[in-house]
């Protein structure tokens, strides 16, 4: 069934049970995907309800569910994009979820790391299988019952499924580069890897097809569905990743000039549990988290549920994905309100101290929408209360093990107390909420356009975009949070005693090199803790420099001296340009005793 609330698209467990019979378990999809599993077959599903249910099943693979064995399947990519970068530590304590230790330490070839890597592979290719199953079933229904769908309905369903297929392959591509690409007419799923360029061409071809099929508004008014504008914006994203700068600039300028998107009025409206602020004009596409529509909380923010303050707090668990000292220092600004990382490149990261409310060094206000820090209001949940000495935390133990994960906590994914977004069902329901997980938002798209402008030497255009985003960042900051109305207040409000907030505007970028650094810095500030960072560093070709500096010393500080376990981290090298393919998937690809999938270089 499809459950619709406030024009959102949700997935119920009854639907998942339905689609499970027609879609194919990922562990066997290489060999068994041509044979329907369970009690339902294609004949049973060959009707309107079956097609729509199978399509919803394809959307459901965007995030983890309770059946997932690990959190590498999270829609936000917090393990692979944030913990594997300089944005966050694994957090929690050392023994919990040990595979993430290996991913954080760049030991990606270990069996433990493979557990999470295979979880990600299984998730994205399950999404591909479900998308292709939708296309096959739609064609069957149209052939047998031509009047079951109108022409517009059939085109939209086809477009949604093709768009989803492109998204899942893009997720695989930015993880592994050289990937197999599957379409609905494939009969043998033991396909060899494409080159990275070939895979991009396939993704873009699917997106172009989807653009031609999808309506300009999400079908049935359900904002979680892809529309033509979703696909256009996504196409521009892929073109930036592929460094097809002229194409990307053309595509993204079209979306900017003619599409339905805009920045939210203030940053607190971007990540929120308030239902009337979700799926706003900044949302290009988001995983539609929902609560209390099934008994186990599977439709909520399942992939994010580890990333809440620890057991002494209202949330009860689990203390993962803690922001790094490096990230917190990156929010420091100079007298002009511009990133200190640009104006003081050798000293911006010098402080090892827990950045508490007693330190009034000027910062970008996005710091306190992104990071929970000592004695600063945590949305409307009261003060984040862990003291420097872990034995004297006041009232609540917000951090599980400060020696392991530091003193800070993630904040974007946490709902506001007044929002009503908290679940009342499932294990530890306090950490389950209806905060949608942004898969792609307009600020991200604008900064991709700014990159394309820098690379095509339109420095004035890039400056204007960065300043637009910075102007929005300066509208409101974290307030006292004692009422729903003062969770967010003007950045110079008299109630703010825990910070000095400052956001300056850039003069026109003086040259391409400076512009490139400024845009990259803005992406980190705006998208911090959103699972983007490692993928950005790798596509910019600076991951080795930045991440080895992050461990060993950059900007006056070294993370190996802050978190001693990072002294065991592997040197980030050329092989880390791509994650290793899970060996189990290579083994499953054998034809006549020979594997068809090839491992990435260095692994």
Q: Is the pLDDT of residue 71 over 70?
A: yes
Q: How far apart are CA 218 and CA 260, in angstroms?
A: 11
Which of the four pLDDT bands, split at 50, 70 and 90, describes residue 254? very high
Residues 346-364: what's their mean pLDDT? 97
Which of the four pLDDT bands, split at 50, 70 and 90, describes residue 203? very high
For the chain, how many structural domains are there in total? 1
Quick one: pLDDT at residue 68?
A: 59
Beta bridge partners of 488: 478
Which of the four pLDDT bands, split at 50, 70 and 90, describes residue 13? very low
Instruction: Give yes or no for a contact between 112 and 98, defined as CB atoms under 8 angstroms apart.
Output: yes
The reply to whether 32 falls in a domain is: yes
The reply to whether 168 falls in a domain is: yes
Quick one: pLDDT at residue 312?
A: 79
Which of the four pLDDT bands, split at 50, 70 and 90, describes residue 426? confident
Instruction: Give yes or no for a contact between 237 and 535, defined as CB atoms under 8 angstroms apart.
Output: no
The reply to whether 351 falls in a domain is: no
The reply to whether 31 falls in a domain is: yes
The reply to whether 368 falls in a domain is: no
**CA angle 154-166-215, nearest 5°?**
35
Q: How far apart are CA 583 and CA 588, in angstroms?
A: 9
Identify the residue with better confidence: 45 or 212: 212
The reply to whether 487 falls in a domain is: no
Q: How far apart are CA 176 and CA 195, in angstroms?
A: 10
DSSP assignment of 288-333 equals: ----SSSTT-TTSSGGGTT-S--TTSSS----EEEEPHHHHHHTBB
The reply to whether 63 falls in a domain is: yes
Residues 432-458: what's their mean pLDDT? 98
Look at 161-175, 299-313, 517-531, 572-586 and tell me which has the smallest mean pLDDT: 299-313
Q: Could you tell me the CATH number of the domain that includes residue 153?
A: 1.25.40.390
* Residue indicated by tokens 């080795």: 544
Q: Is the pLDDT of residue 390 over 60?
A: no
Quick one: pLDDT at residue 7?
A: 36
**Domain span holding position 207:** 2-70+111-259+579-588
> What is the overall mean pLDDT for the chain?
91
Q: How far apart are CA 259 and CA 232, in angstroms?
A: 9
Which of the four pLDDT bands, split at 50, 70 and 90, describes residue 66? low
Quick one: pLDDT at residue 16?
A: 38
* pLDDT, tens only, 112-136: 999 999 999 999 999 999 999 999 9
Q: Is the pLDDT of residue 69 over 60?
A: no
Q: Specify the DSSP element, H or E, that contains 114.
A: helix 111-144
Residues 421-444: what's their mean pLDDT? 94
The reply to whether 152 falls in a domain is: yes
* pLDDT, tens only, 460-491: 999 999 999 999 999 999 999 999 999 999 99
* pLDDT, tens only, 283-341: 999 999 999 998 888 899 999 999 999 887 899 899 999 999 999 999 999 999 999 99
* pLDDT, tens only, 89-105: 999 999 999 999 999 99
């Amino acid at each position: 069934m499809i459950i619709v609330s406030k024009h959102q698209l949700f997935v119920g467990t009854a639907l998942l049970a339905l689609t499970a019979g027609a879609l194919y378990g990922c562990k066997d999809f290489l060999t068994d995907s041509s044979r329907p599993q369970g009690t339902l077959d294609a004949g049973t599903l060959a009707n309107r309800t079956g097609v729509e249910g199978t399509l919803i099943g394809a959307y459901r693979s965007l995030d983890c569910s309770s059946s997932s064995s690990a959190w590498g399947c999270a829609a936000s990519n917090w393990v692979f994009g944030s913990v594997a970068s300089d944005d966050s530590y694994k957090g929690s304590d050392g023994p919990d979820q040990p595979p993430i230790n290996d991913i954080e330490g760049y030991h990606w070839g270990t069996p433990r790391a493979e557990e999470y890597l295979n979880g990600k592979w299984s998730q994205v290719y399950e999404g591909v299988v479900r998308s292709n199953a939708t296309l096959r079933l739609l064609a069957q229904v149209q052939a047998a019952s031509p009047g079951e769908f109108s022409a517009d309905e059939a085109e939209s369903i086809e477009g949604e499924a093709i768009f989803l297929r492109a998204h899942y392959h893009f997720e695989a591509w930015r993880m592994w580069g050289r990937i197999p690409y599957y379409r609905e007419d494939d009969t043998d799923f033991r396909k060899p890897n494409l080159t990275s360029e070939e895979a991009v061409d396939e993704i873009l071809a699917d997106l172009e097809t989807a653009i031609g099929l999808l309506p300009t508004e999400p079908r049935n008014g359900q904002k979680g569905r892809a529309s033509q504008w979703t696909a256009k914006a996504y196409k521009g994203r892929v073109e930036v990743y592929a460094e097809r700068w002229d194409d990307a600039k053309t595509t993204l300028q079209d979306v900017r000039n003619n599409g339905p998107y805009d920045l939210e009025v203030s940053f607190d409206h971007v990540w929120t549990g308030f239902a009337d602020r979700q799926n706003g004009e900044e949302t290009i596409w988001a995983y539609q988290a929902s609560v209390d529509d099934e008994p186990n909380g599977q439709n909520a923010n399942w992939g994010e549920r580890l990333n809440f303050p620890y057991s002494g707090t209202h949330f009860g668990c689990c203390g993962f994905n803690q922001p790094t000292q490096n990230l917190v220092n990156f929010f420091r600004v100079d007298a002009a309100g511009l990133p200190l990382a640009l104006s003081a490149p050798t000293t911006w990261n010098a402080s090892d101290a827990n950045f508490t409310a007693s330190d009034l060094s000027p910062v970008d206000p996005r710091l306190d929408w992104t990071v929970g820090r000592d004695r600063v209001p945590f949305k409307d949940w009261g003060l984040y209360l862990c003291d420097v000495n872990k034995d004297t935390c006041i009232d609540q133990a917000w951090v599980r093990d400060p020696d392991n994960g530091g003193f800070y906590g993630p904040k974007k994914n946490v709902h506001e107390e007044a929002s009503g977004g908290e679940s009342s069902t499932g294990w530890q329901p306090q950490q389950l909420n209806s905060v949608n997980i942004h898969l792609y938002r307009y600020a991200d798209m604008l900064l991709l356009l700014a990159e394309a402008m820098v690379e095509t030497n339109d420095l004035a255009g890039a400056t204007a975009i960065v300043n637009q985003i910075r102007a929005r960042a300066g509208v409101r900051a974290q307030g006292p949070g004692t009422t729903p109305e003062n969770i967010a207040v003007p950045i110079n409000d008299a109630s703010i005693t825990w910070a000095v907030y400052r956001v300056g505007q850039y003069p026109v970028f003086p040259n391409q090199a400076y512009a490139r650094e400024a845009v990259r810095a803005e992406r980190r500030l705006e998208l911090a803790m959103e699972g983007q960072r490692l993928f950005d560093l790798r596509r910019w070709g600076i991951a080795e420099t930045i991440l080895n500096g992050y461990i060993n010393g950059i900007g006056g500080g070294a993370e190996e001296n802050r978190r001693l376990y990072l002294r065991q981290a592997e040197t980030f090298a050329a092989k880390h340009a791509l994650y290793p393919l899970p060996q189990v998937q290579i083994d499953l690809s054998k034809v006549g005793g020979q594997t068809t999938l090839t491992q990435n270089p260095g692994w």
